[in-house]
Amino acid sequence: PPVIYWTRRDFRLSDNPALVAACASGAPVIPVFVCDEVVEGLGAAPKWRLGLGAEAFAARLDEAGSRLVCRRGPALEVIRALVAETGATAVHWNRLYDPDSRRRDEAVKAALKADGIAAVSHAGHLVHEPWTVETGTGGFYKVYTPFWKAVRGRDVAAPLAVPRLRAPEQWPPGDDIAGWGLGAAMDRGADVVRPHCVIGEAGAQGRLGAFVVNRIGAYAEDRDRLDVDGTSGLSENLTHGEISARTCWHAGMRAMEEGKAGAETFLKELIWRDFAYHLVHHTPHITTRNWREEWEAFPWNTDADHPHVQAWQRGRTGMAIVDAAMREMYVTGRMHNRARMLVASYLTKHLLTHWKIGMDWFADCLVDWDPASNAMGWQWSAGSGPDATPYFRVFNPETQAEKFDPLGRYRRAWVAELSSRPPDTATSYFAAIPRGWGMAAGDPYPRAPVVDAAEGRRRALDAYETRGF
Ligand code: FAD
């Protein structure tokens, strides 16, 4: 009888522990992807991108003489039905750690076990699983630097080779992913965002290779520059498991041994991703509620239709660095890390708006959306999270812009109104946005920001003071 390999966010053949375990049993392997309750709940861009990732993985499995059986419905029902149809004796998957996935997976595991089916989960999404890193007293880390110190010298097992997949004698029927309409809510998917994506395992490996050859050396200096393409771009692939974090870790270690200057900084960033999952595992409320209880009383604006929120989402705040970043995300599905910190700070501090509104907008727009990194990033920026910027430190968007975009290249690349002959990137934004936003390329740029740097700082500090922070 066959065994089932259930893929969720691990669209790769190399270094895939669940797939290797399924193949090692010697039985035929049926790879399965389910459009389940967790997938249905995704925001527009992440759902669209996940569908493309699954399609690319299906093609990769085809080349390897296998297939991806795609079904739609609640995970438990679908997996159970497949087990019954195929007579499979085991189901293997790689663990995920966000609350929605955990709830689903725990239910599936319990039900399969009760049916007498082996339900086996594996570690494949992170460099270090959340519970394998403990403080000296057996607790969890709330601050990044000691977390990093605890893991930096650890041995990390070598990536696993691509296994040989044995096909079953008969394939169970499945759907065509394209027919599911996972991109239905993503109006600008194919034309606008798609050219900025790198999809699939080969693309992800190419990205890592090019980064290690061309950019890792200067990464420590360049990674904060908004006007320099200095980072790896791998978050899009890591979030879909098109490359394993462990593979990236080993590439960074090799670069460090070769004396490449920025390699250690890259490894540290990679471990931020593990740290985000460490926090989500130990304090799952980080994805939904203020991590620090006292922030529940903070008088955030919670009106998602507030004109300030709309201006922020649409890149029309009049604060050019913020607008550039928001437009970059709308067009490319990504945003530079420094820019994420800046726009998050502007929304939560200058505009005194709840971080959840920003987090949700990111969850609708990002092709690298990750439940843990997004929640941690937002709470960190707002000041309500663990290891946050001190809440009273309010980024000044203007001085940040001078520092990280000194010649204004990044701003001009995305804000058409700033140039007489704007570049294609900037004009592509106006082609991408919905008509209902009432914005056109020829509109004059706001003469003043909705809330300027000094006023925003004062408002935020006043709000902290009146609340006794
Ligand atoms: P590189 O600089 O090349 O870094 C390599 C890898 O390290 C990244 O691919 C990523 O996996 C990891 N990494 C780097 N910085 C961080 C970080 N601060 N936190 C966690 N992991 C990190 N990242 C996401 O992947 N998905 C999100 O939804 C997301 N939302 C964010 C929201 C906010 C408000 C903030 C401040 C940050 C968010 N980040 C998120 C983290 C970070 O901005 C991105 O991981 C990074 O910009 C991705 O670009 P890169 O792959 O070129 O990164």
pLDDT in tens, 355-369: 999 999 999 999 999
Q: How confident is the model at residue 396 (pLDDT cuts 50, 70, 90)?
A: very high
With helix as H, strand as E and coil as C, how does 369-391 read? CCHHHHHHHHHHHHCCCCCCCCC
pLDDT above 70 as % of the chain: 100
CB-CB contact of 237 with 204 (8 Å)? yes
- What would the mean pLDDT of 344-373 be, rounded to a whole number? 98
Q: Are residues 130 and 120 in the same domain?
A: no
Instruction: Output the pLDDT for position 404.
Output: 98
Asked whether residue 54 is assigned to any structural domain, the reply reads yes
For helices 337-345 and 371-382, the axis angle rounded to 10 degrees is 50
pLDDT in tens, 255-309: 999 999 999 999 999 999 999 999 999 999 999 999 999 999 999 999 999 999 9
pLDDT above 90 for 461: yes
CB-CB contact of 396 with 453 (8 Å)? yes
Q: What ipTM score was computed for the predicted complex, to two decimals?
A: 0.99
Q: Is 404 within any annotated ligand binding site? A: no
The tokens describing 229, both together, are 């393409």
Query: Which element (helix H / strand E) includes 120?
Result: strand 118-122
CB-CB contact of 346 with 317 (8 Å)? yes
The set of residues, in sequence order, having a beta carbon less than 8 Å from that of 412 and lying 6+ positions away, is: 418, 419, 422, 423, 426
Q: Are residues 317 and 454 in the same domain?
A: yes
Domain limits for position 41: 1-124
**What is the Å distance from ligand 1's center to 264 Cα?**
16
Asked whether residue 174 is assigned to any structural domain, the reply reads no
Query: Which element (helix H / strand E) includes 10?
Result: none
Q: Are residues 388 and 303 in the same domain?
A: yes
Q: Are residues 304 and 407 in the same domain?
A: yes
The tokens describing 142, both together, are 């709330």
Question: Distance (Å, rounded) from C-alpha 371 to C-alpha 281?
Answer: 11
How many domains does the chain contain in total?
Answer: 3
Tell the burial category of 17 from Cβ atoms under 10 Å away from its Cβ (0-12, 13-18, 19+): buried
C-beta of 333 in contact with ligand 1 (< 6 A): no
User: What CATH number does residue 266 fall under?
Assistant: 1.25.40.80
Q: Are residues 429 and 323 in the same domain?
A: yes
**What is the Å distance from ligand 1's center to 48 Cα?**
20
Out of 47, 225, 269, 275, mutate this one to test ligand 1's pocket (max ligand atoms within 8 Å of CB): namely: 269
Question: Distance (Å, rounded) from C-alpha 392 to C-alpha 383?
Answer: 8
pLDDT in tens, 30-84: 999 999 999 999 999 999 999 999 999 999 999 999 999 999 999 999 999 999 9
Q: Are residues 253 and 315 in the same domain?
A: no
Q: Are residues 136 and 239 in the same domain?
A: yes
Q: Is 373 within any annotated ligand binding site? A: no
- State which of 102, 124, 146 marks the end of a domain: 124
**What is the Å distance from ligand 1's center to 337 Cα?**
6
C-beta of 215 in contact with ligand 1 (< 6 A): no
Q: Are residues 198 and 276 in the same domain?
A: yes
Q: Are residues 85 and 197 in the same domain?
A: no
Asked whether residue 69 is assigned to any structural domain, the reply reads yes
For helices 263-282 and 144-151, the axis angle rounded to 10 degrees is 110
pLDDT in tens, 53-64: 999 999 999 999
Instruction: Output the pLDDT for position 447.
Output: 94
User: What CATH number does residue 311 fall under?
Assistant: 1.10.579.10
pTM of the model: 0.98
Asked whether residue 176 is assigned to any structural domain, the reply reads no
Asked whether residue 339 is assigned to any structural domain, the reply reads yes
pLDDT in tens, 245-258: 999 999 999 999 99
pLDDT above 80 for 389: no
The tokens describing 351, both together, are 């505009």
Query: Which element (helix H / strand E) includes 165?
Result: none
C-beta of 263 in contact with ligand 1 (< 6 A): no
Q: Is 436 within any annotated ligand binding site? A: no
- Closest C-alpha to 28, from 172, 121, 165, 173: 165
**What is the Å distance from ligand 1's center to 370 Cα?**
9
Instruction: Output the pLDDT for position 392.
Output: 81
pLDDT above 80 for 153: yes
C-beta of 238 in contact with ligand 1 (< 6 A): yes
Asked whether residue 31 is assigned to any structural domain, the reply reads yes
For residues 392 and 362, which has the higher predicted lDDT (pLDDT)? 362
Asked whether residue 173 is assigned to any structural domain, the reply reads no
Q: Helix, strand, or coil here: 355?
A: helix
Asked whether residue 177 is assigned to any structural domain, the reply reads no
pLDDT in tens, 318-338: 999 999 999 999 999 999 999
Instruction: Output the pLDDT for position 63.
Output: 97
Helices (H), 115-158: 144-151
